[in-house]
Amino acid sequence: MMFLVYAGPDRESYMARIEPRNTYVAGTPPIPSPGWRTMSVEGGGEPDPVHISKGFGSVQIVMRGAIKIEVTAGSLREWLGRPGDAFVFVDCEGTGHSATVCNLETFQAINVRLSSDWDQLKAAFDGWPHDAQPFPHGITL
């Protein structure tokens, strides 16, 4: 499953299910990314306190273990991400989200930073909420 974590007009954080669209066209370059990193956390951990996404946000793909993502508003307030689940974090302002590695198994994920093109990003997904607030001005990486 794939989820968008975003700031609403009230600056609260929300979570919505989204589905990727096909953006592949033979011979064209991929959507650019300013960078990526891997994450590996042994065992369960303390919650990562409520925080906003850095830069223009990121996509996190769970490879092993589980992580609980919690937001402050909406009907879907938390999700336990397991292998194959992905989160698109674009809550670059507002109340933010929290994350907790939830089990004793090693947690592994890949985190890819997003570029600054909001329209290109949202066009890549079905189910993108109409009230998701675009990146605020003045963001730096």
**Which two tokens mark 91?**
């809550």
CB atoms within 10 A of CB 27: 4
Which of the pair, 69 or 137, is modelled with greater confidence? 69
Residue 17 lies in a domain: yes
What are the pLDDT digits (tens) for 107-132? 999 999 999 899 999 999 999 999 99
- Tokens at residue 34, please? 């300013």
User: Which residue segment(s) compose the domain that 114 sits in?
Assistant: 2-23+49-126
Pick from 31-35, 58-62, 95-99: least confident: 31-35
Q: Look at residue 83 and tell me if it is in a domain.
A: yes
In the chain, the number of structural domains is 1
**pLDDT at residue number 2:** 98
Residue 57 inside a domain? The answer is: yes
- Tell me the CA end-to-end span of the chain in Å, nearest whole number: 28
pLDDT band at 141 (very low <50, low <70, confident <90, very high): low
Q: How far apart are alpha carbons 65 and 8 in whole angstroms?
A: 29
DSSP β-ladder status, 36-41 and 48-51: unpaired
Is 34 part of a structural domain of the chain? Answer: no
Q: What is the domain-level CATH number for residue 93?
A: 2.60.120
Q: Which SS3 state, helix, strand or coil, does residue 121 take?
A: helix
- Point out which residues pair with 111 in neighbouring strands: 37, 60
Q: Read off φ and ψ for residue 46, nearest 5 degrees.
A: -70, 150
Q: How many percent of the chain have pLDDT more than 70?
A: 94
